[in-house]
């Protein structure tokens, strides 16, 4: 297969995966009761957050090491990571089950948590390895199997067989696709010629990797914590059915995030890194202004389109609860836009290796979110949660924006040639 054909297949698989995941939440809202949608949202949030806890952001270290290592040593590095992950599973999963049982999850849903968490984490690490080893098309295929294929299959089953419109069957499809994706990923990695599997475990290498990843993990857990706690907070304030509406509206506004990631940030981030390395300060400022204008224009168009289509979409779904909770959408849309504009100074700071500023802003943001939500809850009710998101993302934007302005102001200015009188 030619490079162009590979590239087209790679992009096509990613687009189909994103489309399937985006549309899945709408069909789920149509075919399942709002409380089932709520539990699905709580489940996905818990799995997503737990993946960071069992992964420790170790891939930030592992990816660099696996690329630099010879093929004869790569198997030993993977073996080291498998040992680390196994220890983390044994330590974290019992604690997670205790906490989730305390939050009131149904017993049957708890039993799906362990296999799906492990499958999602293993698949994510395999995906990252395939990317690092320049197997992008196979990585995209594995991504489609574990994220897109089961969503399509579950919707098809619920469409043709109404008696199958149950959340436990959705979980079964998810786990089944995860098993298939692991099998394909492992077979692919076995064909890469990795060696070193018989080498002893390098505990010093593991400890060094944990040390490198830990600082970034704190920032990641803080930021991801905001978008995990919010769903559980909504459920505690207004019940599991309103949490289902929150999950649906969050799925809608996530389309804007996906679009901006693919259409703006994927192109702008490499540019900012290159300009920072070259010291092209003026060009970097222009690129950041261009990013901001693109974000605001895309957000305005998305906001207009969503408000025109939203009533029709809710009529198609057919549950009156979603219309009654429509005010949540406005807050979530505002939070998404604030999060997006905050990424402009974020990428500029990241390009200049200002990691400490990024970490501190993220840790502070979760504290601001909790405080704002608590203070606003008596007056706004459940809307205090997305309002707290808005305030937290605004704090991040202001913090990073001021840090960037200070950094930019202290850059050496170009020396202009003297002009003769």
pLDDT score for 123: 96
pLDDT band at 69; cut points 50, 70, 90: confident
pLDDT score for 187: 92
Write down the pTM of the prediction.
0.87
pLDDT score for 340: 95
pLDDT score for 135: 86
Could you give the CA distance from residue 316 to residue 27 in angstroms, rounded to a whole number? 10
pLDDT score for 218: 86
Q: How many CA atoms lie within 13 A of 80 on its CB side?
A: 24
pLDDT score for 333: 96
pLDDT score for 248: 94
pLDDT band at 416; cut points 50, 70, 90: very low
What average pLDDT does the chain have?
90
pLDDT score for 418: 37
Taking residues 99-110, report their average pLDDT. 89
Taking residues 60-86, report their average pLDDT. 90
pLDDT score for 167: 95
Task: Supply the Cα-derived Rg of the chain in whole angstroms.
Answer: 23
pLDDT score for 415: 39
pLDDT score for 12: 84
pLDDT of 4 above 80: no
pLDDT score for 3: 66
pLDDT digits (tens, 9 = 90+) for 164-213: 999 999 999 999 999 999 999 999 998 888 888 989 999 999 999 998 88
Taking residues 315-327, report their average pLDDT. 93
pLDDT score for 25: 92
pLDDT score for 57: 86
DSSP 59-121: HHHHHHHHHHS-HHHHHHHHHHHHHHHHHHHHHHHHHHHHHHHHTT--HHHHHHHHHHHHHHH
Taking residues 217-238, report their average pLDDT. 91
Could you give the CA distance from residue 234 to residue 230 in angstroms, rounded to a whole number? 6
Percent of the chain scoring above 90 in pLDDT: 63
Taking residues 220-242, report their average pLDDT. 93
Give the DSSP H or E segment for 288: helix 281-317
Mean pLDDT is highest, among 4-13, 249-258, 368-377, for: 368-377
Query: Any residues with CB less than 8 A from the CB of 167 and at least 6 apart, and which?
Result: 32, 36, 39, 40, 109
pLDDT band at 411; cut points 50, 70, 90: low
pLDDT score for 132: 85
pLDDT score for 95: 93
Cβ neighbourhood burial of 73 (10 Å; 0-12, 13-18, 19+): middle
pLDDT score for 169: 95
Could you give the CA distance from residue 395 to residue 373 in angstroms, rounded to a whole number? 14
| Domain locations along the chain | 7-201, 215-410
Percent of the chain scoring above 70 in pLDDT: 97
pLDDT band at 419; cut points 50, 70, 90: very low
DSSP 419: P
pLDDT score for 290: 94
């Amino acid at each position: 297969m030619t490079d162009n054909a590979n590239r087209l297949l790679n992009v096509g698989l990613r687009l189909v995966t994103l489309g399937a995941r985006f549309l899945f939440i709408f069909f789920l809202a149509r075919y399942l009761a709002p409380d089932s949608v709520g539990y699905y949202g709580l489940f996905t949030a818990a799995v997503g957050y737990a993946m960071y806890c069992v992964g420790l952001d170790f891939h930030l270290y592992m990816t660099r090491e696996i690329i630099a290592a010879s093929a004869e040593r790569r198997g030993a590095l993977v073996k080291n990571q498998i040992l680390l992950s196994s220890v983390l599973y044994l330590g974290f999963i019992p604690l997670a089950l205790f906490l989730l049982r305390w939050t009131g999850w149904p017993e049957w849903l708890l039993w799906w948590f362990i296999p799906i968490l492990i499958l999602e984490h293993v698949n994510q690490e395999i995906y990252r390895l395939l990317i690092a080893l320049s197997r992008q098309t196979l990585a995209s295929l594995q991504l489609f199997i574990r994220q897109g294929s089961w969503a399509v299959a579950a919707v098809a089953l619920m469409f043709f067989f109404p008696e199958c419109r149950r959340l436990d069957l959705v979980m079964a499809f998810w786990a089944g696709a995860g098993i298939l994706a692991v099998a394909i990923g492992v077979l692919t990695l076995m064909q890469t010629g990795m060696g070193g599997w018989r080498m002893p475990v390098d505990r010093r290498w593991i400890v060094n990797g944990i040390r490198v990843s830990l600082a970034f993990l704190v920032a990641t857990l803080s930021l991801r914590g905001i978008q995990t706690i919010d769903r559980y907070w909504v459920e505690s304030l207004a019940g599991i059915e309103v949490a289902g509406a929150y999950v649906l509206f969050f799925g809608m506004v996530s389309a804007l995030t996906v679009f901006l990631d693919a259409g703006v940030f994927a192109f702008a981030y490499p540019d900012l890194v290159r300009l920072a390395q070259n010291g092209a300060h003026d060009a970097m400022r222009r690129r950041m202004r261009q990013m901001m204008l693109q974000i605001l224009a895309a957000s305005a168009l998305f906001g207009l389109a969503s408000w025109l289509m939203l009533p029709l979409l809710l009529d198609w779904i057919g549950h009156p609860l979603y219309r009654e909770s429509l005010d949540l959408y406005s807050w979530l849309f505002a939070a998404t836009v604030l999060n997006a504009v905050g990424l402009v100074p974020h990428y500029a700071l990241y390009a200049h290796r200002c990691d400490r500023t990024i970490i501190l802003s993220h840790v502070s943001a979760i504290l601001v979110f909790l405080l704002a939500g608590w203070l606003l809850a008596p007056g706004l009710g459940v809307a205090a949660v997305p309002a707290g998101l808005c305030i937290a993302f605004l704090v991040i934007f202001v913090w990073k924006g001021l840090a960037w302005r200070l950094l930019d102001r202290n850059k050496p200015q170009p020396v202009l040639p003297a002009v003769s009188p």
